[in-house]
Copies of this chain bind each other. A is one copy, B any other.
Amino acid sequence: MNMSSPRLIGLDWGTSSLRGYLLGDNGAIQETQSRPWGILHTPGGDFAAAYRDLVGDWRARWPEIPVLASGMIGSRQGWREAPYVECPADPARIAGGLLAFETGCGELRVVPGLLRQGELPDVMRGEETQILGAMALEPQLAEHALLVLPGTHSKWAVLREGRIETFATHMTGELFALLREHSILGRPAREETPDVSPDAFLRGVRNALGSGPESVSARLFTARSLFLTGSLRAAHTLEYLSGLLIGEELRSVLSRFPDGEFPPVVLLGEGALCERYRDAMAECGIARIRVLEHTAPAGLWRIAVAAGLVESETSAGLATSAHE
């Protein structure tokens, strides 16, 4: 084997972007392409044309290698719906839910999303692949870890004994954007250039963490009342609001660990946003938090191994089906 022989084409096809990876032995990234063609922005809604554009050359050169995609492309709004697989789920279970279909440019396999059943169920799609990627890159996390994927819809996932045991979604990023753009809370900052202010951010975090039973819609309003009473500068209101929302997310998660005994915490995602979460967690006494970026290719590789689409000596050691 050598680096010149690709083994898998992996696609991370989400709401806002489409990324393609040509992966070699052990999932090593050989080439990367990306387009701003998330499923809501695919030109003409023509997924097949977008797919051909991205992988056509790769497939022409290496027609034999499998193609695997994860993310919202497998949702009801995507190309084909890959039904959810239920939690707890390990790589084998997720691989068992792959949806394969002929694209006109070879066969494509789509990774299913995850469903947590219950009276109030929850769903994810795309994040499961990033999480398995983190487990593949840092095998010790598989035993027990808390993974945080901040974003529009932040996900918190508990890993235990090689499986994604459970998870929860928080609409933190979407709420922040809505309030900033459209609400009365965002008005001061729309009229004045916002300033960076770690102090205002941590004030928001602390107010959320220290809050009693008042409703979140009441707590949010403090971004208005503190401004109106001269205790918060217009330019700092967004930082405070961001702190309130992230603090509310942390408050909820912390309450699941009343004894303060956390498994290792890992942030998955883009640097600046992860830093914000790291600062907020430090305020709660959670230190030594790892940050991992770009774990989707490793996750796609891990699922391909579990599905038998590729063989990988080194990653075989990560197989977790023995735990099921």
Contact = CB atoms under 8 A, between A and B. Distances in A.
Nearest to A220: B171
B168 A121 contact: no
How many copies of this chain?
2
B115 A229 contact: yes
A174 interface: yes
Contacts of A120: 207, 219, 222, 225-226
A276 interface: no
B168 A218 contact: yes
Given A179-B178, A183-B178, A121 B217 contact: no
Interface string A205-221: 00100001111111111
Q: How large is the interface on A (under 10, 10 to 19, 20 to 34, 35 or more residues)?
A: 35 or more
Interface stretch (A51-59, A249-257, A265-273): A249-257
A175 to B, nearest CB: 6
Contact of A229 (B123, B179, B185, B218): B123
A169 interface: yes
Given A215-B251, A252-B214, A122 B221 contact: yes
A170 B218 contact: yes
Contacts of A231: 121
A-side interface mostly: helix
A22 interface: no
Contacts of A172: 215, 217
Contacts of A207: 119-120
B218 A252 contact: yes
A323 interface: no
A217 B249 contact: yes
A184 interface: yes
Given A153-B184, A175-B183, 18 more contacts: A76-B228, A84-B229, A119-B207, A120-B207, A120-B226, A122-B221, A168-B218, A169-B218, A169-B225, A170-B217, A171-B218, A172-B215, A178-B178, A181-B182, A213-B256, A215-B216, A215-B251, A216-B217
Interface of A: 76, 84, 115, 119-123, 153-154, 168-172, 174-175, 178-179, 181-185, 207, 212-222, 224-226, 228-229, 231, 245, 248-249, 251-253, 255-256
